[in-house]
């Protein structure tokens, strides 16, 4: 049924880069057999899923949205891919994304933008916009995204679905094509908080193949989602982050957030305002740290190891092959970030840029620690606006980066956060009603708290 749905709507939505009909049907048949034998493998056995193309899949093309990897067939599965297969989840195909996960709209994909199912002329967010669009368009009930600075939470918010960025180290990064290794985390999307929690429990947990993986139990997010659904938040203190809201935020986004805060109070939570004075520097720090790490990670695309190679004939030397390949294979945003990152890491500038950004990162972590002395969770809008129009921000990188204002602090501090839908808002200057989310942030490894609150407000 989902393959039929993809055939019917994906011409308009463009959520998928590759649909794996044969693989999906074979996986579904294997699950049928288990069930006939009375041994379903997990609660999600047989449930179809859309997988962001930054996650490697054995035998199935993986491009990370880039021409430089077009046609690359990985020889192995990412740990999360393996875990999902073992749980009997049926992988329908690979979803569109901004090239190497750099962007907030999918417009940086080398394979064309995805479209928001609520309004096809608008973005489904990014960089995991194919995965958010697939779930919002009923092409898949659940999907996987990755979030480096907001790429799960912002797409979830603007497509009206649930998205969870786990605690850094909570989900294995083995087999994720690296963008910014100290920030990247894979996480689940779903149409409900409980669906999202069930998927997180499949992908989460320790992996010896990832040196930053935390060797601790997966937070009990399914139990928390079930508990939260009772709508009783007595005893919980919720901090509204003063710095994330106000000027520059769409009125409808602010109004929906305020309604959500009132709802939390009705359910027994104590809602207070907290100040996190360094959050205003998160954007500047992130856009030094992420490009710096990217400039190093993307050095592996050297025309020798993977994918595209340009200039086999008549070139002088290896350096020329590399330079021609990287010129043809990378898009403009990727090149911009490689240049920024290389500059920020160069000797003489390192202390002023990368080093300074790391200090700001520490201060943001301390703001969180101070706020969590009095609050159990912090809340804010996930992004300042409803889904913007495709094309509107493509020539203005700073406007594009502003989509991440609210999501970057938790990314820099490695903390868990969820975006949950809380209603619709009318986009300014239109009569279009578009989805709005609420972001819920918690201390490291308290992902279950995000789920409890999200289930209460959903
Ligand atoms: N929009 C941010 C960026 O362009 C975040 C992307 C992400 O989380 N992958 O870097």
User: pLDDT per residue over 93-138, tens digit each?
Assistant: 999 999 999 999 999 999 999 999 999 999 999 999 999 999 999 9
Q: Tens of pLDDT along 399-426?
A: 898 999 999 999 999 999 999 999 999 9
CA 4-27-204 angle, 5° bins: 105
- Identify whether 211 is a catalytic site residue: no
Instruction: Check residue 311 and give its pLDDT.
Output: 81
Helix ranges (H only) for 89-228 are 129-136, 153-159, 193-203, 221-228
What distance in Å separates the CA atoms of residue 113 and residue 122, rounded to the nearest whole number? Answer: 10
DSSP label of 402: G
Distances (CA, A) of 439 to 30, 245, 260, 261, 455: 38, 12, 10, 11, 12
Torsion, Cα of 404, 405, 407, 409 (10° steps): 130
User: What band does 398 get if pLDDT is binned at 50, 70 and 90?
Assistant: confident
What distance in Å separates the CA atoms of residue 181 and residue 148, rounded to the nearest whole number? Answer: 9
Question: Does residue 372 have a pLDDT over 90?
Answer: yes
- Identify whether 143 is a catalytic site residue: no
Number of Cβ atoms within 10 Å of the Cβ of 355: 13
Give the ipTM of the model, two decimals please: 0.97
Helix ranges (H only) for 21-138 are 21-36, 79-86, 129-136
> Using a 6 Å cutoff on CB, does residue 333 contact ligand 1?
no
Interval between CA 127 and ligand 1 midpoint (Å): 6
Interval between CA 102 and ligand 1 midpoint (Å): 5
Q: Among residues 105, 127, 213, 295, which one is catalytic?
A: 127
Interval between CA 264 and ligand 1 midpoint (Å): 29
> Using a 6 Å cutoff on CB, does residue 104 contact ligand 1?
yes
Mean pLDDT value across residues 193-213: 98
Question: Does residue 156 have a pLDDT over 90?
Answer: yes
Instruction: Check residue 353 and give its pLDDT.
Output: 95
> Using a 6 Å cutoff on CB, does residue 128 contact ligand 1?
no
- Predicted model pTM: 0.98
Interval between CA 247 and ligand 1 midpoint (Å): 22
Question: Does residue 312 have a pLDDT over 80?
Answer: no
Instruction: Check residue 316 and give its pLDDT.
Output: 81
Q: How far apart are the first and last CA of the chain?
A: 27
Q: Among residues 64, 109, 131, 151, which one is catalytic?
A: 151
> Using a 6 Å cutoff on CB, does residue 102 contact ligand 1?
yes
> Using a 6 Å cutoff on CB, does residue 150 contact ligand 1?
yes
Cα–Cα nearest to 310, from 265, 403, 318, 71:
318
Q: Among residues 52, 83, 94, 165, which one is catalytic?
A: 52
Helix ranges (H only) for 267-331 are 282-297, 318-329
Interval between CA 183 and ligand 1 midpoint (Å): 10
User: What band does 430 get if pLDDT is binned at 50, 70 and 90?
Assistant: very high
Instruction: Check residue 433 and give its pLDDT.
Output: 97
Question: Does residue 61 have a pLDDT over 90?
Answer: yes
Q: Of all atoms in ligand 1, which is nearest to the CA of residue 337? A: 10
Q: Tens of pLDDT along 6-37?
A: 999 999 999 999 999 999 999 999 999 888 88
Mean pLDDT rounded to a whole number for the chain: 96
> Using a 6 Å cutoff on CB, does residue 27 contact ligand 1?
no
Domain limits of the chain? 1-269+379-458
> Using a 6 Å cutoff on CB, does residue 201 contact ligand 1?
no
Instruction: Check residue 247 and give its pLDDT.
Output: 85
Q: 1-269+379-458 in CATH: which number?
A: 3.90.1300.10
- % of the chain exceeding 90 in pLDDT: 92
Strand order of the β-sheet with 142-147 is 16-19, 90-95, 48-52, 142-147, 185-190, 162-165, 417-426, 433-441, 377-380, 237-241, 270-274
CA 354 to chain centre: 24
Question: Does residue 165 have a pLDDT over 80?
Answer: yes
Question: Does residue 252 have a pLDDT over 90?
Answer: yes
Residue 86 CB contacts under 8 Å (≥ 6 apart), including other chains: 41
- % of the chain exceeding 70 in pLDDT: 100
- Identify whether 64 is a catalytic site residue: no
What distance in Å separates the CA atoms of residue 423 and residue 167, rounded to the nearest whole number? Answer: 26
Interval between CA 128 and ligand 1 midpoint (Å): 9
Mean pLDDT value across residues 34-62: 94
> Using a 6 Å cutoff on CB, does residue 108 contact ligand 1?
no
Mean pLDDT value across residues 227-251: 96
Residue 451 CB contacts under 8 Å (≥ 6 apart), including other chains: 164, 193, 196, 197, 221, 224, 225, 228, 418
Hey, is 17 helix, strand or coil? strand
Residue 95 CB contacts under 8 Å (≥ 6 apart), including other chains: 15, 16, 17, 50, 51, 52, 53, 114, 128, 130, 131, 133, 134, 143
Q: Of all atoms in ligand 1, which is nearest to the CA of residue 333? A: 4
CB-based burial of residue 16 (10 Å sphere; 0-12 exposed, 13-18 middle, 19+ buried)?
buried
User: Going by CA atoms, what residue is nearest to atom 10 of ligand 1?
Assistant: 102
């Amino acid at each position: 049924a989902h393959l039929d749905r993809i055939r019917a709507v994906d011409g308009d939505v463009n959520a998928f880069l590759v649909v794996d009909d044969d693989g999906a049907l074979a996986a579904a048949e294997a699950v049928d057999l288990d069930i006939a034998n009375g041994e379903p493998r997990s609660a999600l056995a047989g449930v179809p899923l859309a997988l962001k193309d930054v996650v490697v899949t054995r035998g199935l093309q993986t491009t990370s949205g880039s021409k430089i990897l077009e046609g690359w067939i990985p020889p192995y599965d990412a740990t999360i891919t393996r875990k999902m297969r073992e749980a009997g989840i049926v992988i329908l195909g690979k979803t569109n994304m901004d090239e190497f996960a750099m962007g907030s709209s999918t417009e940086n994909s080398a394979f064309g933008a995805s479209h928001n199912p609520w309004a096809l002329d608008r973005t489904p967010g990014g960089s995991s916009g194919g995965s958010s669009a697939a779930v919002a368009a009923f092409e898949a009930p659940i999907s996987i995204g990755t979030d480096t600075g907001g790429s799960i939470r912002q797409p979830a918010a603007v497509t009206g679905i649930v998205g969870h960025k786990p605690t850094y180290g909570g989900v294995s990064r083995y087999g994720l094509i690296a963008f910014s290794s100290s920030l990247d985390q894979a996480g689940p999307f779903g149409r409900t908080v409980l669906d999202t929690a069930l998927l997180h429990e499949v992908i989460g947990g320790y992996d010896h193949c990832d040196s930053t993986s935390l060797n601790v139990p997966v937070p009990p997010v399914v139990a928390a989602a079930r508990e939260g659904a009772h709508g009783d938040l007595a005893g919980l203190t919720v901090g509204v982050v003063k710095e994330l809201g106000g000027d520059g935020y769409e009125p409808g986004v602010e109004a929906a957030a305020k309604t959500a805060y009132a709802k939390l109070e009705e359910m027994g939570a104590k809602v207070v305002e907290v100040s996190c004075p360094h959050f205003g520097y998160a954007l500047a720090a992130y856009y030094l740290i992420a490009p710096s790490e990217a400039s190093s990670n993307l050095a592996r695309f050297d025309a020798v190891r993977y994918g595209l190679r340009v200039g086999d004939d008549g070139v002088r030397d290896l350096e020329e092959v590399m330079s021609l390949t990287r010129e043809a294979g990378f898009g403009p945003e990727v090149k911009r970030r490689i240049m920024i990152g290389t500059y920020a890491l160069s000797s003489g500038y390192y202390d002023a840029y990368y080093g300074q950004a790391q200090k700001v990162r520490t201060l943001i972590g301390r703001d969180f620690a101070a706020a969590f002395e009095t609050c159990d969770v912090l809340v804010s809008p996930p992004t300042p606006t409803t889904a913007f129009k495709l094309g509107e921000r493509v020539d203005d990188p700073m406007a594009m980066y502003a989509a991440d204002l609210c999501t970057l602090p938790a990314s820099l501090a490695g903390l868990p956060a969820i975006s949950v839908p809380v209603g619709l808002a009318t986009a300014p200057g239109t009569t279009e009603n578009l989805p709005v989310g609420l972001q819920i942030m918690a201390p490291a490894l308290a992902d279950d708290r995000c789920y409890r609150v999200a289930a209460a407000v959903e």
